[in-house]
Amino acid sequence: MITRRNLIGAGSLLGGVLALTRGRRAQAAPPSTGRNYVPVVVPDGATLPFTMKDGVKEFHLVAERISHEVAPGMTINAWGYNGHTPGPVIEAVEGDRVRFFVKNALPERTSVHWHGLFLPNGMDGVAGLNQPHIEPGETYVYEFTLRQHGVFMYHPHSDEMVQMAMGMMGFFVIHPKNPEVRVDRHFMIMLHEWFVAPGTSTPNPNIMLDFNLFTFNSRAWPGTSSLVAKTGDRVRISLGNLSMDSHPIHLHGYAFEEVGTEGGPTPRSARRPITTTDVPPGTTRTVELVADAPGDWAFHCHKSHHTMNAMSHDVPNMMGVKQGRLEDKVKKVLPGYMAMGENGMGNMMDMGRPKNTLPMMTGQGPFGPVEMGGMFTVVKVRDGLTSYADPGWYVHPPGTVARKLT
């Protein structure tokens, strides 16, 4: 069977000439304010450096194949930008004139769409519609003025089904020229879902529904870094989604307000306290809270299969079924067979599994196995921090931990 997957890694290396993107030239660049903002924090990721040239912020993006560690024990053949999936976060300020040099080092053509940005039509990046495709080996330049602020994204608009499934996407943060509030910590988390068949290492872009790997910044628990804040910090968390499903992201111990989407800031009159924000495909959601409750607070997608790593979804449902020695008998005819436990699956994670495949539910906490995977991390809030390095597990005040009675 011929599938799109067969094409991954098999593209032709067409030579190309440097071409400039067509489009109207915008008006002269305003004087740049440079870096007068609190930079975002990208757990397990990076921000994109820039250089100033005649009042324009210049950025370089290279679309390329990368080897990416999802968590210790699992590395995949992904596609991304500048060695990263998701690509590095672009940070700039409302009013900036920006110029992007995009080099295509992929085996197939690409383009970059600036998702949510107000810009000249010829800079919008839909290959074929707004510009020619960027062929392998070519470099294109995009240039425009940032006329808004908020949390936006960038991604290919050329064979985007394959390229996004392989990990090509990133945030584009435009800080306000005149910020309303000062934020102490602004975390960026790109949500994504993949299908990597157990025992293999190349994502399959053909999958439409049954994904088996769910990630925060292309990392799966227990490979996700904690989000660390000091008690009293004003914390912002931006979530972005270019996957095939919505992801309702939930924080324990707090209520937060949604302060912005990929369309811009949410008016104050429209904000309400919530504990879960649904992030549909093609959107960003930015939530804000004051970190006034110390502890280790779980932060995760609330679709329960999205906080698990790969499994065989074909296992029969054996909940409550007395299985006796059935599994041994079935294994004689089906050597790979593993029955679902009759009391659940929580104690089954020590069993063998294919190479380069994470345990389905894993991670150790201070009280035992956490039994999570995928889109899961921990917001760690502590009094009197002098550094935002991971502070380790929370030490609970005496008498504040649930205890065994009988």
Does residue 48 bind Cu ion (CB under 5 A)? no
User: Which stretch, 176-184, 235-243, 304-312, 384-392, contacts Cu ion (CB under 5 A)?
Assistant: 304-312
Q: Identity (one letter) of the amino acid at 18? A: L
Binding flag, residue 301, Cu ion (CB under 5 A): yes
- Residue 185 is encoded by which pair of tokens? 């910590």
Judged by DSSP in three states, 185 sits in: strand
| Cα–Cα distance measured from residue 123 to residue 134, given in angstroms and rounded to the nearest whole number | 13
Binding piece for Cu ion, criterion CB under 5 A, among 36-44, 94-102, 295-303, 341-349: 295-303
* Counts of helices then strands in the chain (DSSP H, E): 2, 23
Q: Which residue of 149, 185, 219, 247 would you call a contact of Cu ion, by CB under 5 A?
A: 247
Q: Which stretch binds Cu ion (CB under 5 A): 230-238, 290-298, 306-314, 358-366?
A: 306-314
Whether omega before 222 lies within 30 degrees of 0, making that bond cis, reads yes
Output 60 or 303, the one with its CB closest to Cu ion: 303
Type of residue at 9? G
Nearer to Cu ion, 154 or 211 (CB): 211
Q: Which stretch binds Cu ion (CB under 5 A): 136-144, 215-223, 246-254, 339-347?
A: 246-254
Least distance CB 214 / Cu ion (angstroms): 6
Specify the stretch interacting with Cu ion by CB under 5 A; choose among 152-160, 198-206, 305-313, 356-364: 305-313
Q: Which of residues 220-239 bind Cu ion (CB under 5 A)?
A: none
**Minimum separation from the CB atom of position 303 to Cu ion (A):** 4
Closer by beta carbon to Cu ion, 35 or else 303: 303
206: its two tokens = 């053909």
Residue 303 in the binding site for Cu ion (CB under 5 A): yes
Shortest Cβ distance from residue 306 to Cu ion (Å)? 3
Give how many residues touch Cu ion by CB under 5 A: 4
By residue count, the chain amounts to 406
Q: Is residue 192 at the binding interface for Cu ion, with CB under 5 A as the rule?
A: no
CB of 191 to Cu ion, least distance (A): 7
- Distance (Å, whole) CA 309 – CA 122: 41
Letter for the amino acid at 290? V
The C-alpha atoms of residue 378 and residue 133 are separated, in whole angstroms, by 41
Q: How far is the CB of 248 from Cu ion (least distance, A)?
A: 7
Cα-to-chain-centroid distance, residue 345: 27
CA distance 72 to 382: 27
35 near Cu ion (CB under 5 A): no
Q: Which residue has the tokens 């994470």?
A: 358
Q: How far, CA to CA in Å, does 72 sit from each of 193, 219, 220, 223?
A: 18, 10, 9, 6
Enumerate residues 69-98 that contact Cu ion by CB under 5 A. Answer: none
Spatial separation of the C-alpha atoms in residues 39 and 175, rounded to whole Å: 9
Q: Which stretch binds Cu ion (CB under 5 A): 202-210, 244-252, 268-276, 393-401?
A: 244-252
CA distances from 337 to 329, 333, 371 (A): 10, 9, 22
Residue 308 interacting with Cu ion (CB under 5 A): no
Residue ranges that bind Cu ion, judged by CB under 5 A: 247, 301, 303, 306
